[in-house]
Structure 1
Amino acid sequence: MPVELAETLGKSNTAIGRIYNTVYQRCRENRQLIIDKFPRLNRFLTGYDLRHVFNDEMTEFDLTRVLTGSEGTLAFITEARLDITPLPKVRRLVNVKYDSFDSALRNAPFMVEARALSVETVDSKVLNLAREDIVWHSVSELITDVPDKEMLGLNIVEFAGDDEAAIDAQVSALCQRLDELIARQEAGVIGWQLCAELAGVERIYAMRKKAVGLLGNAKGAAKPIPFAEDTCVPPEHLADYIAEFRALLDGHGLSYGMFGHVDAGVLHVRPALDMCDPQQEILMKSLSDDVVALTAKYGGLLWGEHGKGFRAEYSPAFFWRAALWRTTQSEGGVRPAKPPEPRKNLSAGRH
């Protein structure tokens, strides 16, 4: 809404008026602090999105940016009006094959520049598990092996819209550039395949969505644990971030697979741990601390897609405690009333 309307609502001597006034004034007074401290991401967190309460021009005010995804800590939403986007009439997938997962990550910005709608990525661990599953029969013709090459990474690049000619032109331009990279043996690209039929597009995504289940089917006591599974960093830093993330996990000899939305800088990973082993439980907390430090180093966020839950104890590491407190404390509307104290332990506990 226009800031003038927000100011008018804030003058009302009602509970709603006090909330509008508090959020408006706090976010305006601390605007520079928020800009300096909050992660710069193209998709945001679970609630308390103080950076986008105002637009860049400071002409629009949006209270829902604070509430949406705040997990009941600020308000209970009983009714909402949603905007619905019509499904596109035309969809195309370009399945791009790489000689390494790192190459797939580093080539993702190239896909975004081609005006792709989305770029999903899958590592060799997930690909190999898919090959052993019945799901591979439905996609094997859409992701064929490259002669004399080993496919260790895959980017699933989607183009979509209502103008078929325009979409096909975008796809053609990308494929031509990919052929040039292959000819020059650059960027780790070893091949690509176009999927132009809707049924094929849906089968590829079904394989991708089955990734969590495939990883969870691993034999043994250690199972994939979702304690740092949706970290998010600016896409331009993703490859370097993941390289350090993998080194961290490899240093502990852990098994894991990675997949996610590289256009948004979100990678899903669930390291396999035996939570019946007390030492593995301690390791989970230690790894959480390390991943928090690593994610903050690259200007990212620990919970880029899912809820915070127990992970909320790490909020000060990303938002700077005083910035969050100053902008959310109030006399009668918005909590918390004092700086939040981090929880002392992230233990899963036994009850």
Structure 2
Amino acid sequence: MIAMVSEVAVRSGYVAFLDALRACGFEGEIAPDDANRTVLATDNSIYQRLPQAAVFPKHAEDLERLAKLASELPHRDIVLTPRGGGTGTNGQSLTDGIVVDVSRHMNQIIEIDVEARRVRVQAGVVKDQLNAALKPHGLFFAPELSTSNRATIGGMISTDASGQGSCQYGKTRHHVLELDTILLGGQHLHSRPLSAEEEQALAQAGVLGKVHQTAAAIIDQQRELIEATFPPLNRCLTGYDLAHLRDEGQLNLNSLLCGSEGSLGFLSEAVLNVLPIPKHSTLVNVRYPSFMDALRDAKALMTASASPTSIETIDDTVLQLAMEDFVWDSVAEFFPAGSTPIQGINLIEFNDDDPEQLAGRVKAFTQHLSQDATVERLGYTLAEGRPQIQKVYAMRKRSVGLLGNVQGEKRPLPFVEDTAVPPEHLADFITEFRAALDARKLSYGMFGHVDAGVLHVRPALDMKDPAQEALIREISDEVAALTQKYGGLLWGEHGKGVRSEYGPKFFGELYPCLQQVKAAFDPHNQLNPGKIASPSESTTLIAKESDPELLTVDGVPMRGQLDRTIDERAWQAYDAAVYCNGNGACYNYDVDDPMCPSWKATRDRRHSLKAAPA
């Protein structure tokens, strides 16, 4: 259920813009109605912003019309925000302007080149949709997400998404070869690594020249400062990644566009590299008497010469939810009960094309564990083969979902849940993180990627209570400072969005470089404003603590504020709908999943479970 201020009129400037858009030949749908506006007012975050309208482009030509019209003088106060699957946890695609939703029509897999292991796709293609098409060829698109059945490729690129296995497979940007982005004004930017001759040719005039000149000047003049500022993490910084602007000397603007959250242009198509599906897999399931033992084991697990693909962790809270659910019956054999209760687990995956080599690596790894006594372990089991492994991962995925369905009004919320620190500091970092939550008497669940130093921590709050809502600011500030203390990032996996306000403090005197990038692409601050950086052409590098044009974590309307306005009788009558967390599971691509058939038939979000009974 989405609470909405009834019949908020579309502002006159937007009415004029939408009329002009129709007149210039826009072929997709234009939707200023209350139903479309309401269902696109939320995502998987705590925020709610009512857009003026939604538009659903049919093709690149529609994006060109949109970008050209918005750049014209009468419409430079129009705000446009691209949206894919709407699974962001930080309000990245929420706006009080116009939502540009490419998922309805621009969702075609254009080309699969099996020999070159390359694909060309439109921005609205869903990750699982792509992998289903690749599977008959023995290939897959690597970055693994828990939302893979509804996350779009465009959204993954826009947040530089990553997840399980990132230490081996990297982030989305590591698999992006070329991007076709439509800039304000309607020009196409075809980004890829450029030779010196190509770079010189593109740096001549116009907006294409300006964006290339700006990027080249930043990396060539500020390289030392960039290297000193960007932490050497597996989950390196998302959002205008200055550190990788030159790839072996070649200028590559994909470094800026991957993670830009729609603030630089409209992604139309992407060329991606894909990988062979590993033929054989084994999952080592290690049990611990405490969750902190599981975290402290990161060093021993990662120093093993066997080189695991991924190391996933689950805390006692999430584990208990799984044990109380029917899903536990399918995995209980892998987590045998003993005299000491299981309070944490690590799941260590190995993959290999050679079954004998795989067996040897797993044996070496388990021998390594038996010889290491740095933490207490309760034992381990092996899940061998993809069917068994998928059972364990299904348990993990379902238990994380159950975390959002706990009883009572306090719900675990994702607002400080993708911190990244060096893995060797993870246990100490989490000790202080937990102390901050315990001091406020908050419950929470934890799960994540030990090998990448990323842990998803979701404190439980009742956002209808103003006193608990105020904790968003308190906890966010404290955790942001804590990540800096341990040489990490507040935003290690799920992008910046509303949390962009912490960017100036982190970047310091490098922040004006981000503003120069924004100004080159979007001089009038029309594309998803308030996220990542505001535009400024100043070349003076002065340390900044804040940017008044960025959104703030407590300055954007929150769902809880509007939930308070729902009549208690309606609340009780629709309690199942009220607890929708907005993660978009009802928008999933999976044809075998019964949820949600009306969405699958129409691709109209108004026909989804999330929209009812809005």
What's the TM-score, normalizing by structure 2? 0.53
User: Displacement of 1:74 after TM fit?
Assistant: 1.5
CA RMSD of the aligned region, Å?
A: 2.1
Equivalent residue number for residue 489 of structure 2: 301
| Paired amino acid for 1:326 | C
Q: Which residue of 314, 321, 329 corresponds with 2:516? A: 329
User: Which residue is 2:253 aligned to?
Assistant: 63
Letter in 1 for 2:233: L
- Displacement of 1:46 in angstroms is 3.0
SS in 1 for 2:535: coil
Aligned counterpart, 1:195 = 383
Q: Quote the offset at 1:186 in angstroms.
A: 3.8
1:16 to 208, 218, 228: 208
* Aligned residues of 1:18 and 1:332 also touching (Cα < 8 A): no
**Closer/same/farther in 2, CA of residues 235 and 128 from structure 1, 3 Å limit:** same
Question: Matched residue of 1:329: which SS?
Answer: helix
Native 8 Å contact 2:297 2:374 kept in 1: no
CA drift at 1:161: 2.2
1:173 equivalenced with 2:346 (yes/no) = no
Change (3 A) 1:70 1:316: same
Q: Please give the alpha-carbon distance, in whole angstroms, between the structure 2 residues aligned to 1:156 and 1:346.
A: 36
Residue equivalent to 2:238: 46
Q: Which has the higher helix share?
A: 1
SS in 2 for 1:325: helix
Which range is displaced more, 229-238 or 256-265? 229-238
Matches of residues 38-187 of structure 1 in structure 2 within 5 Å? 38-55=230-247, 59-114=249-304, 115-145=307-337, 147-181=338-372, 185-187=373-375
Please tell me whether the aligned partners of residues 295 and 302 of structure 1 are also in contact (alpha carbons under 8 angstroms).
yes
Residue from 26, 33, 36 that aligns with 2:218: 26
| Gaps in structure 2 of 5+ consecutive residues | 1-192, 523-533, 537-543, 563-614
- Equivalent in the alignment of 2:408: 220
Higher relative contact order by CA 8 Å / sep ≥ 6: 1 or 2? 1
CA distance in 2, matches of 1:194, 1:4: 51
For residues 47 and 327 of structure 1, the distance between their equivalents in structure 2, rounded to whole angstroms, comes to 9
Give the conservation status (yes or no) of the 8 Å contact 2:420–2:491. yes
Which of 460, 471, 477 matches 1:272?
Answer: 460
| Distance in 2 separating the partners of 1:179 and 1:151 | 18
Who is 1:346 aligned against? 554
* Rg comparison, structure with higher value: 2
Quick one: which amino acid aligns to residue 276 of structure 2? P
Task: Tell whether the 8 Å contact from 2:239 to 2:496 is kept in structure 1 after alignment.
Answer: no
Specify the SS of the correspondent of 2:276: coil
Deviations 1:242-269 (A, max 9, x none): 1110111111111111000111111111
Question: Distance in 1 between the 2:251 and 2:450 partners?
Answer: 30
Q: Is the 8 A contact 1:27 1:327 kept in 2?
A: no
Return the alpha-carbon distance in structure 1 between the equivalents of residues 288 and 197 of structure 2. Answer: 52
**Distance in 2 between residues matched to 1:152 and 1:178, nearest whole Å:** 19
CA distance in 2, matches of 1:305, 1:337: 24
1:243 to 431, 451, 464: 431
Aligned residues: 344
**Which secondary structure state, in structure 1, belongs to the residue aligned with residue 275 of structure 2?**
coil
Residue-by-residue CA offset, 1:127-164 (whole Å, 9 max, x unaligned) = 1111000110010001112x332221111000012122
| Aligned 8 A contact 1:142 1:200 in 2 | no
Find the residue that maps to 1:217 and give its secondary structure. Answer: coil
- Whether the 8 Å contact between 2:282 and 2:349 is mirrored in structure 1 is yes
Distance of aligned partners of 1:282 and 1:6 in 2 relative to their CA distance in 1, 3 Å threshold: farther
8 Å contact 2:207–2:521 — kept in the other structure?
Answer: no
Task: Give me the TM-score of the superposition, normalised by structure 1.
Answer: 0.91
Q: Are the structure 2 counterparts of residues 125 and 5 from structure 1 closer, same or farther at C-alpha, using a change threshold of 3 Å?
A: farther
* Distance of aligned partners of 1:239 and 1:6 in 2 relative to their CA distance in 1, 3 Å threshold: farther
**1:277 is matched by which residue type in structure 2?**
D
Q: CA offset at residue 345 of structure 1?
A: 5.6
Matched AA of 1:123: D
Asked whether the 8 Å contact 1:257–1:270 carries over to 2, the reply is yes
Distance 1:330 1:194 in 2: 49
Q: CA deviation at 1:343?
A: 4.1
Deviation at 1:303, TM superposition (A): 1.7
Q: Distance in 2 between matches of 1:89 and 1:213?
A: 29
Q: How is 1:302-317 mapped onto 2 (pairs within 5 angstroms)?
A: 302-317=490-505
Q: How far apart are 1:330 and its partner, in Å?
A: 6.0
Q: Distance in 1 between matches of 2:506 and 2:518?
A: 25
> After superposition, what is the alpha-carbon deviation per residue over 1:213-270, rounded to whole angstroms, capped at 9, x for unaligned?
2112211111111111111112121111111101111111111110001111111111
